[in-house]
Amino acid sequence: MSKAVGLEKAKVVIREDECKGCNLCIEACPEDVLFEQKYLNRMGYHPAGYVGEGCSGCGYCFYQCPEPGAITVYKKGYVGEEVA
Amino acid sequence: MAEKVLTKAASFYDVYERKSGAQDVTHYCPGCGHGVLHKLIAEAIDDFGIRDQTIFISPVGCSVFAYYYFRVGNIQVAHGRAPAVATGIKRTHPESIVISYQGDGDLAAIGGNNILQAANRGEKITVFFINNAIYGMTGGQMAPTTLIGQRTTTTPRGRTAANEGFPLKMCELISTLESPIYVERVALTDPKNTSKVRRAVRKALRNQIENKGFSFVEVLSACPSGWKMTSVQAKQWMVDNLLPQFPLGVFKDVSKELEPSERSKVVFSTENMNELLNIPSEENIRTDVPKPLTKFQNPRIILAGFGGQGILMLGLGLAQAGMQAGYHVSWIPSYGPEMRGGTANCHVILSEERIGSPTVSKPTVLVAMNLPSLEKFESQVEPGGLIIYDSSLINQSPKRKDVKVLGIPATEMADNLGNTRIANMIVLGAYIAITGIMPKDVVVDALPIFIKHKKLIPLNVQAIEKGMAFVDKNNGHA
Amino acid sequence: MAKQLIKGNEAIVKGAILAGCRFYFGYPITPASEIAEAAAYYMPLVGGTFLQGESEVASIQMLYGAASGGVRCMTASSSPGISLKQEGISYSAGSELPLVLIDIMRGGPGLGNIAPEQGDYNQMVKGGGHGNYKLIVLAPNCAQEMCDLTMLAFELADKYRNPAVILADGFIGQMMEPVEFPAPVTELPEKPWAIHADKNDETRLICSIELEPEVLEAHNRHLQEKYAEAEKNEVRFEEYRIDGADFVLVGYGVVSRVLQTTVDLLRDQGHRVGLLRPITLWPFPGKRIVELSDSVDSFMVVELSNGQMVDDVRLAVNGKKPVHFYNRMGGMVPSPEEIADQAVKFLED
Ligand SMILES: Cc1ncc(C[n+]2csc(CCOP(=O)(O)OP(=O)(O)O)c2C)c(N)n1
Ligand code: SF4
C-alpha cells in the first residue's frame, strides 16, 4: 500500500470508457455532483462526469450503475492504493 | 456497506476474455438491471469468501453470457432448465454454492415446472429471478409477467387477460410450497430499494452457505430497450406500473428456525460392492451334472396357467436351477399381445449351447396348468416332445399321440400338503424326474434364491419330492 | 464361477454401479421402469443418489449438471421419454458431457404401446436433436451384455467426452438370464475440465453456445474429429456362422437372437446363411459390410421397425448386392421360422 494516510474527502472516479451513459448515477446522486459530459466516449455514449468535489461517499451511484467497473467510490478515510 | 471503497468486485474477471468486442464492459444495454444484480452478487461472493465454491448457472436470455463475467465455476444451460441443472450439480457437489440465475421467460414460462419442482424438492440452491416483464434477448416479446395492457412485440395491442391470461406471480406461487425456506420480492428502483436487493442477495446466499435450503429472490428490474424508454424513464415506469402489480416484501422466511449445518462432499466408495448389490460371490455353477437322454436335451419350455398358480415362479425355479446345473438358460414372461385375459405364461430354455431366440415358438415341453393353456399350446409342441398337465384341473387328456404325456393331479396333491400354491413345485419335481435334466439337490440348492419366504423352503422340498415320487410310481423314468 | 439369474434391466443398474456410476436421474416409463426402481433401491446403498425428476426434459438436464460436475451419471427411459430428452441430448453433445442414457424401446409412434420395437434407431443413431452431433450407441442382446455394455458405455462416454447410449428393447430388458458380474471399477478417470467446486473452476466453463461462426465451426470440426476417432476405434460387431455364407442376415438386439436360431434352421435346410450383428450401431460396422458385399450374394436385414438400420446397410453395400428387408412393428416379434420362410423366398427369387 503506497499511501499510508487516509483520504480526507470522499470521492468518485468514473471510467469514462466503461460508461454507457444511462444517467442512473446522475439521477441517484443526492449531492447532485454528477453530470453528463458533452462529448461522446469510444462507445458513442455521453459518459457521466464528477464535478470534482462534494461527493459524500454514499455509494448510491455505484449501486445504481449496471457496469461492474465504471464507477469507484472512495469513502472518507480510505487507506490504500487507488484501485481505479 | 462498511467498506471504504466501492469498486469492481474481485469475483468478476478483470478482463472478460470470453467476450468478443470490448472486454472491459458487459454486453448489457445501458440502464439494464442485470448488471446491477450481477454487481450485488459478485460483491456478496467476495464478502463471503465463497468464490472457490461457487457454481454459477447462466440461463438463456440476456444473462446467457453471465459466464463472461463471474470468476467462478460456470455452466451455461438450456432455456428454462437452470433449476434442473442446478439440481444435478448440487446433488453431486453438495459442498458447492450453486446460483441459478434466470429471467422471467426462462423461469416462469418455458422452465415453469422446473423451478416449481426444484423449489418443492427444497434443493439447497439460491435462485435469482430477474423479472423485467418482457423477453429482452429476443427483442421485446411478451413474458409471463408482462402486465395487462403492456405492449410488446407479440402483444402489439397490449396484453389482455382474455387472450394471454394474467401476469404470473412467482413469489406468491413458490411461497405456497412447504420446502422453500426464503422467498422475497425486491426491486432495483431507487437506492433504498436497491439496498434491500443487496440484503436479499446476501441472505439468500448465506442460507446456502449454512446449508439450510432453497432460497428464491425475485428482482424487479428495468429493461429500457425492451420497454423502449430511457433508463431514467424505465425506473419511473417500474415504480408506477410494476410495483403495484408485483408487491415487494418477504413472502416466506423460515431460515432463522433452521440450524446451520456442514456442506459435506459426496464420498466415492467401492467397498462391499457385491454384498450391497446382492451379487453372488461364491461359486454356484455345477460342472458335474450328468446329461439327460437325448430327447430331453436342450428343452424349450412353455409354462402356462392362470395367474396365481405360480407359473412365473415355476419357470424361474427351472431357470435358476438350470443355471446352477451348468446350462445356458433364459426366462421370459409372456409379453405383448399374449399377456391378456388373466392367463400367465412364460418361456424357459435350458441349453448346452448359447441360446438364440429366447421366445419359444415350437416348444419341446409344455407345462399346462389349466384347460385354456392346454388348448392353446398343445398343437405347437414338437413331435416327440413332452406335455405335463395338471389332471386335477384339466379333465380331458391331450389329443396328441406323437408326444409323451404326463397328467399329474398337482393341485390335489398340493392341497394334501396343505397349500394349493405349492402345485407348481410338484410339477417341477415331476419334470426333473421324467427328464433327468438335473438332480434334485441342484433344485434344492436353488430354492433359497427364488423363494422369498425362507419358512416355506421345507414345504417346497417336500412338494418337489412328491412330484418326483409320483413319476417314479406312475410313469417310470422315461 | 458365480452367476446371477437376473433381468436385463436390473443388470444395467448393477453394471452402472460397478462402473462407478453413483447418480441416477430419471422419470418412470414402461418398459424401462425397473431400471429406475433398481436404481432407487441400490444407489442409496452405495452412497449414491437416485432422483425421480419431474420429466424426462428435467432428468436429462439434471444429468447435464451432474456430468458437468465430473461424476459418472445415468438416466433411462423409453421411446416417448427419449423424444423429450432430445433437447438435453443435443446440449450435452454440444457441451461434450459424458453421460449414459438407456433407451428400452417400445412401440410407436406417439404413445404406441409398451411392446418391443426398434423404432428409435433413427432418433438415437442419426440424432433426434438439433445440430451436428453423434451419440455412441451400443445394442446389447442379452442380460450379460446389458451389464457389460453399460460399463463400456461409461468408459466410452468418458473417453470421448460424449453421451453414450444403450439401445435395447423391452425383450432384452424383461428377460432373465445368467450374468457374471465383473469386479467394480475403483479408479475413475480424472476430468480436468469438470466443475468441481474448487479454485480451478474459475477458468472452467461448460457451455454449448458460441456466437462467433468461425469459432462454432471450429468447435464442430473438433467434434467431427472426435467422432472420426471413435469410428476408427470403437466399431464392434459379432458374426455367427458367417464363414462360407452367401446370404447374410443382419439384425441387432433381440432380433439378432432370433436370427441366430434362424441361421441354424436355414443351415439345417442346406442354405449357406450367416449372421452379422452390429453391437455398436454408431459407429456402425459399415466397413465389415463393405467387405462382405464382395463375397456374399445378398443381405437380409430384419428389424422391429419400418426400416431404419437397413438404410445404413444399404449405404455400405452401395448397390453392389441386393439388400432385402423384413420387418415387424407394433410389438410383434417374428419367430425364427417366420424369418426363415421369408429368407427362403428371397433366396429363391
Ligand atoms: C428452446 C428455446 N426456445 C426459445 C429460445 C429463444 N429465446 C432466447 S432468450 C428468450 C427469452 C428470454 O427472456 P427472459 O427469460 O425474460 O430473459 P431476458 O432476456 O429478459 O433477460 C427466448 C424465447 C431459445 N433460446 N430456446
Ligand atoms: S434487452 Fe433489456 S434485459 Fe436485455 S440487456 Fe438490454 S436492457 Fe437488459
Taking only the tens place, the pLDDT of each residue in B24-48 is 999 999 999 999 999 999 999 999 9
Q: How far is residue B214 from each of residues A84, B58, B99, B255, B455, measured CA to CA in Å?
A: 37, 18, 11, 10, 48
Break chain B into its structural domains and give their ranges: 34-257, 273-474
> In this model, does residue C209 exceed pLDDT 50?
yes
Pocket test for ligand 2, best of B36, B132, B230 (most atoms within 8 A of CB): B132
Atom 4 of ligand 1 has which residue's CA nearest to it? Answer: B79
* CATH tag for B34-257 (out of 3.40.50.720, 3.40.50.970, 3.40.50.300, 3.40.50.10140): 3.40.50.970
Q: Number of helices and strands (H, E) in chain A? A: 2, 4
Taking only the tens place, the pLDDT of each residue in B118-143 is 999 999 999 999 999 999 999 999 99
pLDDT band with cut points at 50, 70 and 90 for residue B343: confident
Q: ∠ CA B151-B192-A30 to the nearest 5 degrees?
A: 100
Helical axes C143-160 vs C213-233, angle rounded to 10°: 140
Answer yes or no: do C130 and C220 share one domain. Answer: yes
Query: By C-alpha distance, which of B66, B154, B58 is closest to B106?
Result: B58
Judge whether C176 and C143 are in contact, CB under 8 Å: yes
Starting from the CA of residue C129, give the closest ligand.
Answer: 1
Answer yes or no: do C264 and C225 share one domain. Answer: no
Cα torsion for C86, C91, C93, C98, to the nearest 10°? -100
* Phi, psi (deg, nearest 5) at residue C332: -80, 130
* A 19-38: CB under 8 A from B: 20-24, 27-28
How many domains does chain C contain in total?
2
Going by CATH, does the domain composed of B273-474 fall within 3.40.920.10? yes
Distance (Å, whole) CA B130 – CA C183: 49
> In this model, does residue B266 exceed pLDDT 60?
yes
* B 374-403: CB under 8 A from C: none
**The three-state (H, E, C) secondary structure of A49-81, written as one string:** EECCCCCCCCCHHHHHCCCCCCEEEECCCCCCC
Query: By C-alpha distance, which of C263, C274, C278 is closest to C309?
Result: C278
pLDDT value at residue A84: 61
Starting from the CA of residue B34, give the closest ligand.
Answer: 2
Distance (Å, whole) CA C297 – CA C278: 19
For residue B336, the chain C residue with the least C-alpha distance is C115
pLDDT value at residue C349: 80
Strands C49-52, C23-26: pairing kind: parallel
Ligand 1 centre from B226 Cα, in Å?
13
Taking only the tens place, the pLDDT of each residue in C17-74 is 999 999 999 999 999 999 999 999 999 999 999 999 999 999 999 999 999 999 999 9
Q: Is B329 close to C177, i.e. CB distance below 8 A?
A: yes
> In this model, does residue B462 exceed pLDDT 80?
yes
pLDDT band with cut points at 50, 70 and 90 for residue B334: confident
Atom 1 of ligand 2 has which residue's CA nearest to it? Answer: B136
Query: By C-alpha distance, which of B239, B219, B231 is closest to A26?
Result: B231
Judge whether B291 and B437 are in contact, CB under 8 Å: no
Report residue B154 as a C-alpha cell: 407479440
pLDDT band with cut points at 50, 70 and 90 for residue B477: very low
Pocket test for ligand 1, best of B135, B142, B154, B242 (most atoms within 8 A of CB): B135
The residue out of C205, C233, C261 marking a domain boundary is C233
Residue C138 pairs in a beta bridge with C166, C280
Cα torsion for B398, B403, B409, B411, to the nearest 10°? -90
Break chain A into its structural domains and give their ranges: 11-74
* B 78-117: CB under 8 A from C: 78, 81, 84-93, 95-97, 113-114, 117
Q: For the residues C133-141, what does the mean pLDDT come to?
A: 98
Q: Domain holding C243: CATH number?
A: 3.40.50.920
Taking only the tens place, the pLDDT of each residue in A1-25 is 444 568 889 999 999 999 999 999 9
pLDDT band with cut points at 50, 70 and 90 for residue C104: very high
Rounded percentage of chain B residues whose pLDDT exceeds 90: 94
Q: Is C284 exposed, middle or buried (0-12, 13-18, 19+ CB in 10 A)?
A: buried
Mean pLDDT of all residues in chain B?
Answer: 95
> In this model, does residue B367 exceed pLDDT 80?
yes
Q: Is A31 exposed, middle or buried (0-12, 13-18, 19+ CB in 10 A)?
A: middle
Mean pLDDT of all residues in chain C?
Answer: 97
% helix / strand / coil in chain A, to the nearest 5?
15, 15, 70
Q: Is A1 exposed, middle or buried (0-12, 13-18, 19+ CB in 10 A)?
A: exposed
Torsion region of C110: left, alpha or beta (phi above 0 gives left; psi -120 to 50 gives alpha): left
Distance (Å, whole) CA B81 – CA B60: 9
To the question of pTM greater than 0.90 for the whole model, the response is yes
pLDDT band with cut points at 50, 70 and 90 for residue C1: confident
pLDDT value at residue A80: 81
Among B105-109, B234-238, B335-339, name the one with the lowest average pLDDT: B335-339
Judge whether C239 and C290 are in contact, CB under 8 Å: no
Judge whether A61 and A73 are in contact, CB under 8 Å: yes
CB pairs under 8 A between B and C: 253
Nearest-CB residue to A22 (from B1, B30, B34): B30
Q: How far is residue B28 from each of residues B21, B37, C121, measured CA to CA in Å?
A: 13, 12, 43
Strands A34-36, A48-50: pairing kind: antiparallel
The residue out of C216, C233, C250 marking a domain boundary is C233
Q: For the residues B155-176, what does the mean pLDDT come to?
A: 98
pLDDT value at residue C121: 98
Q: What is the CA radius of gyration of chain B?
A: 36
Among A47-56, B87-96, B154-163, B447-456, name the one with the lowest average pLDDT: B447-456
pLDDT value at residue B335: 54
Say how many CA atoms lie within 13 Å of C195 toward its Cβ. 39
Report residue C144 as a C-alpha cell: 450379460
Ligand 1 centre from B81 Cα, in Å?
12
Q: For the residues C252-274, what does the mean pLDDT come to?
A: 98
Ligand 2 centre from B224 Cα, in Å?
7
Enclosing domain of residue C297: 238-348
Residue B221 Cα: closest atom of ligand 2:
3
pLDDT value at residue B337: 44
Answer yes or no: do C177 and C260 share one domain. Answer: no
Query: By C-alpha distance, which of A71, A68, A67, A69 is closest to A29?
Result: A71
Report residue B385 as a C-alpha cell: 416332445
One-letter identity of residue A41: N
Report residue B205 as a C-alpha cell: 446466499
> In this model, does residue A83 exceed pLDDT 80?
no
CB pairs under 8 A between A and B: 106
pLDDT value at residue B478: 43
Distance (Å, whole) CA C78 – CA C103: 5
Report residue C63 as a C-alpha cell: 444429468
Pocket test for ligand 2, best of B27, B29, B131, B219 (most atoms within 8 A of CB): B29
Helix (H) or strand (E) holding B163: helix B161-164
Strands C323-327, C298-303: pairing kind: parallel
Distance (Å, whole) CA A22 – CA A45: 9
Please indicate if any CB of chain B lies within 8 Å of the CB of A40: no
Distance (Å, whole) CA C223 – CA C210: 14
Name which of C54, C87, C304 to mutate to probe chain B: the one with the most chain B Cβ atoms within 10 A of its Cβ.
Answer: C54
Name which of B7, B32, B70, B221 to mutate to probe chain A: the one with the most chain A Cβ atoms within 10 A of its Cβ.
Answer: B7
Helical axes C143-160 vs C8-18, angle rounded to 10°: 40
How many of the other CB atoms lie within 10 Å of CB of B181? 21
Judge whether B366 and B387 are in contact, CB under 8 Å: yes
Taking only the tens place, the pLDDT of each residue in B395-432 is 999 999 999 999 999 999 999 999 999 999 999 999 99
Helical axes B33-48 vs B191-209, angle rounded to 10°: 40
**What's the topology of domain A11-74?**
Alpha-Beta Plaits (3.30.70)
Distance (Å, whole) CA B394 – CA B406: 12
Query: 434334485: which residue's cell?
Result: B440
Judge whether C150 and C166 are in contact, CB under 8 Å: yes
For residue A26, the chain B residue with the least C-alpha distance is B232
Residue B132 Cα: closest atom of ligand 1:
20
Shortest distance between the Cα of A3 and any Cα of chain B, in A, equals 14
Nearest-CB residue to C258 (from B91, B273, B356): B356
> In this model, does residue B341 exceed pLDDT 90?
no
- What is the value of ipTM here, to two decimals? 0.96
Query: By C-alpha distance, which of C169, C117, C161 is closest to C140?
Result: C169
Taking only the tens place, the pLDDT of each residue in C303-318 is 999 999 999 999 999 9
Distance (Å, whole) CA C17 – CA C42: 8
pLDDT value at residue A38: 97
> In this model, does residue A54 exceed pLDDT 90?
yes
pLDDT band with cut points at 50, 70 and 90 for residue C127: confident
> In this model, does residue B327 exceed pLDDT 80?
yes
Query: 470440426: which residue's cell?
Result: C221
Q: How far is residue C147 from each of residues B177, B230, C314, measured CA to CA in Å?
A: 40, 62, 31
Sheet holding B182-187, edge to edge: B249-253, B182-187, B215-220, B126-131, B97-103, B54-58, B73-76, C205-206
pLDDT value at residue B263: 97
Report residue C156 as a C-alpha cell: 466410452
Say how many CA atoms lie within 13 Å of A52 toward its Cβ. 0
* B 418-477: CB under 8 A from C: 449
Strands C176-179, C4-7: pairing kind: antiparallel
Distance (Å, whole) CA B329 – CA B299: 10
